[in-house]
Every structure is written in C-alpha cells, then in structure tokens.
Amino acid sequence: MNTVTVITGGTSGIGRAICKKVSENSSKDDGIFVVYGHNDEMAQSLKEEVSGISEAEIVLIKADLSSYDAIGIIKNSILEHTDHINNLILNAGISTYASFDEYTPEMWENIIRTNLNIPVFLVKELKSIIADKGSILFMGSHAGQATYSSSLVYSVSKAGVLFAARSMVKLFDDRGIRVNAIAPGFIETRWQDNRSEESYNIINRKIALHRFGTPEEVAELSYHVLTNTYLNGSIYDVHGGYDFF
C-alpha cells in the first residue's frame, strides 16, 4: 500500500465524513482502515459508499474501543495488509448525559478509557509503524476547553485528549511526525437525535452562526490539518463562533 490512513469511529457522523474526504483524495494503491465497534450495517454501507468515490482499498476492522483488547486486534489487522501507517485519526468517542448524581465509577471509567486511555495506548502500540513525516490527529471537543456541566466526564476526557495531543509532539519530533487535535462544537450527527427543539434553540442562540455544524465542515478542517505539512502541536476549533457574547 502507498498512503495508509487509519481512522477509528469512521463509520458514522464526523468520522464517516472524514473517511469520504480521505477517499476523495486517495488513489488505487492507497489503503483506508476503518475501525468501528458495533454497527456492521453502517460499516458495510460506508465501504460501499467509499468504493464509489475512489479505488483505494477499504479495510473494515471491528474492535470495541472500550476494551484494551481492541489495540491488538487493530494492530494485527493492519499488519495483515501493510507495514506502515501515514495518517492515524483517533476519532471514536462516546458520551453520557446522565446527571452527576447518577454517575457510577464504572460509567466514569468506561468513558475515560474509551475516549482517552485507549487512543493514547493505541498511539503507543502503533508508534513503531507510523511512517516518518506521518500525521496523528485526535478528535477532541470544545467541551474539553470550556466547562460543560451537562457532561462532566465527557469534558474531562476531552480535556485529557487535547492535552495528550499537545504533549505527544515531542515524542515524535525526531521522525517529523505531526500531532494535532480538532475541537468541534455542536455538530449535527446522531448524537443530536434526541435533542429537543427547545435545546436546539438555546444552543443556537449561543452560536454566532446560529446553527450546528455539519460533519462535512469538520471533515474539511480535519483533512487540512492532517495533510498540511507545517501544522503541528495545535488544537483547531470548529464551533461556528460559540459563546462569544
């Protein structure tokens, strides 16, 4: 394989839009490894959709990123096809809107493990096969920079992701590998499926553009950060002008 991209959570929402963007810019000898955890139907439909966009090889990897076992599954699946990775996108993430009083240690640990610990250890495990001048991109959140009391554990996990991304830069400077993060605000994905009109209205009043972003808008920025060869060690906001009042 020539240019190899690995993306977690690439079958839905933001990750799916990034997959499509990457495939638009890929050619026959390139490979895109798409990790997902549960929904086979979404994964198959992504594969079919991307096959219509480019001739790049799409490899689906089913691995539940709430378990450390996923790390070995992902690495072995990649090594069955290629010996290197050029772009690694750590996008999969989960949240909860349970109230603080409903929190359990298990719930807290599951979200921190899925959103922060496993992406970090995935980088550690894949480090040796990331090509020189490669690119690592973490999906953070504006919730990791501002305090959203509505999801304390999610905010804490994403603050950790953003800090980890910046802290990793020096681990890779001898090989020219860049590490960056994206921090989206409110994006129109299935995460918003149960949001009431009232909630939309409250949030839209706080966004200067008065609307949620699209996965494609996040994908545009993500692809730019992934491929621009002088972007390193930074966090890129994409929130339509949130909370500027």
Ligand X SMILES: NC(=O)c1ccc[n+]([C@@H]2O[C@H](COP(=O)([O-])OP(=O)(O)OC[C@H]3O[C@@H](n4cnc5c(N)ncnc54)[C@H](OP(=O)(O)O)[C@@H]3O)[C@@H](O)[C@H]2O)c1
Residues of this chain, 87-126, that bind ligand X according to CB under 6 A: 91-94, 114
Q: Contact with ligand X (CB under 6 A): which of 23, 87, 151, 189?
A: 189
Distance in Å, CB of 189 to ligand X, minimum:
3
C-alpha distance from residue 204 to each of 96, 191, 210, 241 (Å) = 21, 16, 4, 10
**Which region, judged by CB under 6 A, interacts with ligand X, from 60-68, 100-108, 129-137, 226-234?**
60-68
Distance in Å, CB of 35 to ligand X, minimum:
6
61 in Cβ contact with 35 (< 8 Å): yes
Distance in Å, CB of 18 to ligand X, minimum:
9
Q: Contact with ligand X (CB under 6 A): which of 186, 219, 222, 242?
A: 186
Q: Contact with ligand X (CB under 6 A): which of 78, 139, 219, 226?
A: 139
Residues of this chain, 206-235, that bind ligand X according to CB under 6 A: none
Distance in Å, CB of 40 to ligand X, minimum:
8
**194, burial (CB in 10 Å: exposed 0-12, middle 13-18, buried 19+):** exposed
> What is the largest distance, in Å, between two alpha-carbon atoms of the chain?
52
CB closer to ligand X out of 94 and 129: 94
SS3 per-residue string spanning 23-58: HHCCCCCCEEEEEECCCHHHHHHHHHHHHCCCCCEE
User: Could you give the CA distance from residue 21 to residue 38 in angstroms, rounded to a whole number?
Assistant: 23
Distance in Å, CB of 147 to ligand X, minimum:
15
Distance in Å, CB of 149 to ligand X, minimum:
16
Q: Is 160 near ligand X (CB under 6 A)?
A: no
Q: What region does 233 belong to: left with phi over 0, alpha with psi -120 to 50, or beta?
A: left
SS3 per-residue string spanning 204-234: HHHECCCCCECHHHHHHHHHHHHHCCCCCCC
Binding mask 12-31 for ligand X (x = CB under 6 A): xxxx----------------
CB closer to ligand X out of 38 and 124: 38
Q: What are phi and psi of 87, to 5 degrees?
A: -130, 125
Q: Which strand (E) or helix (H) includes residue 8?
A: strand 4-8
Q: Which residues bind ligand X (CB under 6 A)?
A: 9-15, 36-39, 42, 64-66, 91-94, 114, 139, 141, 184, 186-187, 189-191
